[in-house]
Structure 1
Amino acid sequence: MRQEAVYDVVKDECRKQFILGGVKGVSASQVAEKLNMHRSNVAREFKKLLDMKLLYKREGRPVLYYVDSSVIEFDLKTHKDMGSLLNNIDGFIERKTEVLANKGFREDEIKNKLIYEVEGYIDKYFQIASSRNEMQNIVKELIGVEYVIGVDGGGTKTEAIAYNLQGEEIGRGYSGFGNIVVDREEGLKNIEIAILKCMKNLDETKCVHIYAGLAGAETGNNKGVIKSYLSERFPVSITVVSDADLAINALLKGEDGILTISGTGSISYGKYKGKMVRAGGWGNILGDEGSGYHIAIEALRKMVKDKDTGLEISNLSKALLNELNMDSIKDAVKFVYGSNKGEIAALVPVIVDEAMKGESSAIEILEQAGKDLAEITFKVYKLLEIEGEAKLAVKGSIITKISIVKDSFVKTMKSYIEKFTIIDDEVSSAEGAYYMAVKDLSIK
């Protein structure tokens, strides 16, 4: 019993050290203090565990075999294999850290959670001491799988995620905006960077297809521009679609229905019995009603209208000027004409804050956004001639995170459609690549 208790303490401490970076081993004094044992008794248990080859010494302190890269290097066939495996574990920790940070966990909480999150990976290391063949199978599993990549690019960020042919995520990468309408050169570069980050720990030759779902892809010849650019950089077949096309496959898991997106821009997109239609999504000049950009523009438009009619500056206008660190409406106008869609849409949280305080014009703008989104959704519904209950998926921070917008959307839809189900699962649009691959590549 003592032996198992001592081993468990060494195991837990080494895992913590591994996650925090740098395994130094565990002293007999540390274990003695935790287990309320005499140091000499702990030392005797150390010797037994060392004799059993469950531990070895590093600079005089016991360490678990499976957290030491030199042992892994010795037991694997090549240094390249070792590097690939370690990189996969590093990537796993990096992704988990990012997910937990986005959920609001503090640094110390993240480290504690990771100790358990990473156990599945670290446990595989332990097999090295007893089975070299098993370790080689693990390496093959991590770096030799075939996969597809989905790229979701919008007006503010680009996300690339790799999925194996069972639909499990195995790699992820982020970069800046992927809408080349905003800036062609920078947008293309951001798409490339996201894919490269996604492939960082994967075998490039095992990628069977890339599905790039990008805002602005259907504008002009942008599809051809994007496909040509990516084809020169990645030796794999590539399909470029709109961000809505990728997202509808993700949220509806390849089934029929309608997807309405409202983020920086907006669009409604539907498919039913082989028919595919869309409404909205014509960009900030011709459309994008109900989007973050449109909401911000409406608030700024009200600001200048109030000035033209001699009305006192509203609390909403004051909050916007304060956010922009500007003193005059003229400065705000210069900001509008000198900024891109993403920078303007970034003002939406200010409008939401004012609405939560009861500012009537802010509430009215957000409610109208919900009505606008319902309007384009209903247009798609009519064009598709859906029979029975309709599946309505929603995506984007404006329609899923702002309750005033979502409530207005649902209320308006109820006045249009008798039976419908709202789907607002938090899944990445990039997951649509897997469902598209199931259909296009006949993946079972």
Structure 2
Amino acid sequence: MTYLIGVDCGGTHIVGQTWTTAPEHLVQSVTGGPGNVVLDYSAAVTNLTTVLDQLTAAIPASQLGLILIGIAGIETAGRADQVQQTITQRYHANTQVISDAKLALLNGLAGADGALVIAGTGSVVYGRQAGKFLRVGGWGYVLGDEGSAYDISKRALKQVLTQTDNGQTSQLTAPLLAQLKVTDIAAAVQKFYAQDRQTNAQLAQLIAKLAEQQNSEAITVLVTSAQALAQQVVTLYQRFAESWPQRVALSGSVLQHNRLVRDTLTTTVHQSIPTIAFNDITTNNAHAVIYWHRWTQEEINS
């Protein structure tokens, strides 16, 4: 019997799962604390090993075939090798450390070629073709993250500022001031800069609600943000070789809960690539360990 362990280390929590391969069967699932190595490396590794300790406790070491770990922020932190070495030494097992986005790509496409679009607090577009990974966007809330909740919030406040500079009052001014609990534009800007990324991103929920109420400026913000993300999908596909893969998986709170953003994204992409089929990710991304294992076995046998 061969056991595989997949771990999805997200910013809010870690999910680890143990799977068998023949037949494919979920043996155990364990949840732990935050796993973002950028925010707190020591705490993230401690939470990770706590989960792995539970998953490996009942597995004979000789039967543990692979530990696949997807970690939020690992590419930014540049500490994948460090984490991999730590886990390998602790559990004496073949260990691979990748980004949580790549983990989601493998899971969302069931190991097949294609693309993944994530739009939550941040955003990124990933692709995989013939064993190679490609990335577009995901450069953080200051330089990118188009289509994300933070991007929507930022675009909304910029709309207010643009109207203010023109001597006009935006339809978004009063709702945003009320949400930020301030009374003037200068105070709104000051508070936006002072708040953390997560708190600012929550303003997107207000914009979504206003759009549902047919607020034209809120609708424009959502559509423009979604179109920017859709362009990144098109850019990714332009980097694919011929015989483009046709599947795109969608993930993240914005794409799951905001129908206007989702519909704008898919419609805009279809204008350039009408044959693409979109699908949602319905299982935890720790399941990707199954597909990584299949992929590596195919490479060995080819």
Q: TM-score range by the shorter chain?
A: 0.7 to 0.9
Q: Which amino acid aligns with 1:210?
A: I
CA distance in 2, matches of 1:396, 1:264: 8
CA distance in 1, matches of 2:277, 2:254: 19
> One-letter code of the match for 2:192?
V
Distance 1:234 1:317 in 2: 55
* Cα distance, 1:284–1:360 mapped onto 2, change above 3 Å: same
Query: Residue 364 of structure 1: SS of its match in structure 2?
Result: helix
CA-to-partner distance for each residue in 1:90-132, whole Å, 9 max, x for gaps? xxxxxxxxxxxxxxxxxxxxxxxxxxxxxxxxxxxxxxxxxxx
Q: Is 1:238 matched with 2:95?
A: yes
Structure-2 change in CA distance of 1:325 and 1:190 (3 Å) = farther
Q: What secondary structure sits across from 2:68 in the alignment? A: strand
Q: Is the 8 A contact 1:389 1:421 kept in 2?
A: no
More helix by share: 1
Q: CA deviation at 1:294?
A: 1.5
Distance 1:300 1:405 in 2: 18
Match of 1:387 in 2: 243
Asked if 2 retains the 8 angstrom alpha-carbon contact of 1:150 and 1:212, the reply is yes
Q: Aligned pair in 2 of structure 1 residues 412, 437: CA closer, same or farther (>3 Å)?
A: same
Change (3 A) 1:382 1:392: same
Q: Find the partner of 1:221 among 54, 58, 78.
A: 78
Equivalent in the alignment of 2:18:
162
Instruction: Tell me by how many angstroms 1:402 deviates.
Output: 1.2
Give the one of 35, 39, 46 matched to 1:178.
35
Q: Structure 1, residues 165-202: CA drift from partner, whole Å, max 9, x if none?
A: 23332322334543333443444444445545x62874
Aligned counterpart for 1:264 among listed residues 121, 125, 130 = 121
2:256 alignment counterpart: 400
What's the CA shift for 1:441?
5.5
Deviates more, 1:258-267 or 1:186-195: 186-195
Q: CA deviation at 1:436?
A: 0.4
Q: TM-score, normalised on structure 2?
A: 0.84
**Pair 1:302–1:379, CA change in 2 (3 A):** same
Quote the residue 1:412 is aligned against.
Answer: 268
Deviations 1:262-289 (A, max 9, x none): 1222111112233432211222232211
Equivalents in 2 of 1:155, 1:306: separation in Å?
35
User: 2: CA distance between counterparts of 1:301 and 1:238?
Assistant: 44
Letter in 2 for 1:224: D
Q: Summarize the Cα distance change of 1:188–1:414 in structure 2 as closer, same or farther, 3 Å threshold.
A: same
User: Where does residue 433 of structure 1 map in the other structure?
Assistant: 289
Work out the CA distance in 1 between the residues paired with 2:70 and 2:165: 42
Q: Distance in 1 between matches of 2:125 and 2:75?
A: 14
Residue 284 of structure 2 is aligned to residue 284 of structure 1: no
Deviation string 1:310-369 (CA, Å, 9 cap, x unpaired) is 43353x444344444444544543443344433332332222111111122221121122
| C-alpha contact (below 8 Å) 2:37/2:77 kept by paired residues | no
Matched position secondary structure for 2:74? coil
In structure 2, relative to structure 1, the CA distance for the partners of 1:225 and 1:296 (3 Å cut) is farther
The answer (yes or no) to whether the contact 1:279–1:380 under 8 Å persists in 2 is yes
1:333 and 1:176 mapped to 2: Cα distance?
A: 33
* Residue 250 in structure 1 maps to residue 117 in structure 2: no
CA contact (8 A) 1:160 1:172 kept: yes
333-342 vs 426-435, greater mean Cα deviation: 333-342
Q: Hey, what does 1:371 align to over in structure 2?
A: 227
The residue type equivalent to 1:363 in the other structure is I
Distance 1:318 1:169, change over 3 A: farther
Say which one has the larger Rg. 1
Aligned residue pairs, count? 298
Write the distance in 1 (CA, Å) between the matches of 2:242 and 2:206.
38
Question: Helix, strand or coil: the match of 2:24?
Answer: coil
Runs of 5+ consecutive residues of structure 2 not aligned to the other structure = none
Q: Which range moved further: 430-439 or 319-328? A: 319-328
User: Which residue identity does 2:99 align to in structure 1?
Assistant: S
SS of equivalent residue, structure 1 residue 337: helix
What does 1:6-21 align with in structure 2 at a 5 Å threshold? none
> What's the secondary structure of 1:261's corresponding residue?
strand
- Which residue identity is paired with 2:252? G
Q: SS of the counterpart of 1:168? A: strand
Query: Which aligned pairs between 1:291-370 and structure 2 lie closer than 5 A?
Result: 291-312=148-169, 314=171, 316-370=172-226
Contact in 1 for aligned 2:255/2:262 (Cα 8 Å): yes
What TM-score, normalized by structure 1, do the two folds share?
Answer: 0.59
Work out the CA distance in 2 between the residues paired with 1:317 and 1:175.
40
* CA 376–359 in structure 1, closer or farther in 2 if over 3 Å, else same: same
1:390-412 deviations in Å (ceiling 9; x for gaps): 11221112123211011101111
Q: Deviations over 1:229-262 (max 9, x none)?
A: 5446544332111222111111111111111111
Structure 1 residues 329, 167: CA separation in 2 closer, same or farther (over 3 Å shift)? farther
1:14-73, CA deviations, whole angstroms, 9 ceiling, x for partnerless residues?
Answer: xxxxxxxxxxxxxxxxxxxxxxxxxxxxxxxxxxxxxxxxxxxxxxxxxxxxxxxxxxxx
* Partner SS, residue 93 of structure 2: coil
